[in-house]
């Protein structure tokens, strides 16, 4: 068995295995004993969650000292120009701490984008834009706080990659096994562009409830 599972977490799913009562959890999607998330994703966020049964690997992925790149596609309210992204690239102040400099780009809506359920609550009079953000740290609701501090609140947040692993080929609510050995070769890469995929050939199935 591979040491990793890559899950495309849908909106509204809590990133834990214990029952929540109000929301579905990881257990509703990944019915494989012994695997736990290496880093969490907010309930109102979507995208890649990496799970492992290896405690050492979990620590490597989550430890900020390793500065593992995480790339997000973010739909924001408003139309930021390149100058408006400068504070994100420089390291924006968030009140209780200053975020590390991030890679921040304006981008077109991703061609792999799926409809969100429920849809975002966009205001018709205010246009929206998509950003591609790559961070090498991960604090509570950090991406949302960063875009809000820059003047562009987040409407939709999708994590596309963690280190060398990406969402490519993984539909929402499904998962795949992945090879963990690629980490030692690509620890410093940002896989949102020009990357090689690390997905295993075996595809998991969503657990029915």
The catalytic site residues sit at 42
CB contact at 8 A, 5 and 52: yes
Q: Could you tell me where the DSSP H helices lie in 86-166?
A: 86-90, 142-149
Cis bond upstream, residue 168 (ω within 30): no
Burial annotation 136-146 (CB, 10 A radius, 16+ → b, else e)? bebeeebbbbb
Using alpha carbons only, what angle is made at residue 145 by residues 149 and 164, rounded to the nearest 5 degrees? 120
d(CA 159, CA 132): 10
Strand pairing class (70-77; 36-37): unpaired
Q: CA 103 to CA 23: how far, in whole Å?
A: 33
Sequence-separated (6 or more) residues with CB below 8 Å from residue 184: none
């Amino acid at each position: 068995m591979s040491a990793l599972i890559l899950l495309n977490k849908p909106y509204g799913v809590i990133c834990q295995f214990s029952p929540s009562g109000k929301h579905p959890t990881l257990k509703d999607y990944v019915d494989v004993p012994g695997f736990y998330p290496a880093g969490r994703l907010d309930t109102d966020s979507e995208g890649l969650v990496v799970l492992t049964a290896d405690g050492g690997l979990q620590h490597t992925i989550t430890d900020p000292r390793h500065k593992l790149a995480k790339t997000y596609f973010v739909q924001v309210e408003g139309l930021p120009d390149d100058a408006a992204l400068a504070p994100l690239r420089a390291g924006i102040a968030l009140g209780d701490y200053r975020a590390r400099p991030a890679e921040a780009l304006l981008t077109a809506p991703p061609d792999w984008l799926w409809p969100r359920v429920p849809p975002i609550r966009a205001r018709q009079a205010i246009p929206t834009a998509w950003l591609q953000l790559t961070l090498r740290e991960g604090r509570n609701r950090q991406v949302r706080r960063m875009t809000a501090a820059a003047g562009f609140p987040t409407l939709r947040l999708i994590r596309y990659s963690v280190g060398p692993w990406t969402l490519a080929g993984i539909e929402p609510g499904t998962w795949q096994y992945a090879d963990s050995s690629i980490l030692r070769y690509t620890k410093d890469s940002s896989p949102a562009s020009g990357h090689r995929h690390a997905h295993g050939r075996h595809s998991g199935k969503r657990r029915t409830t």
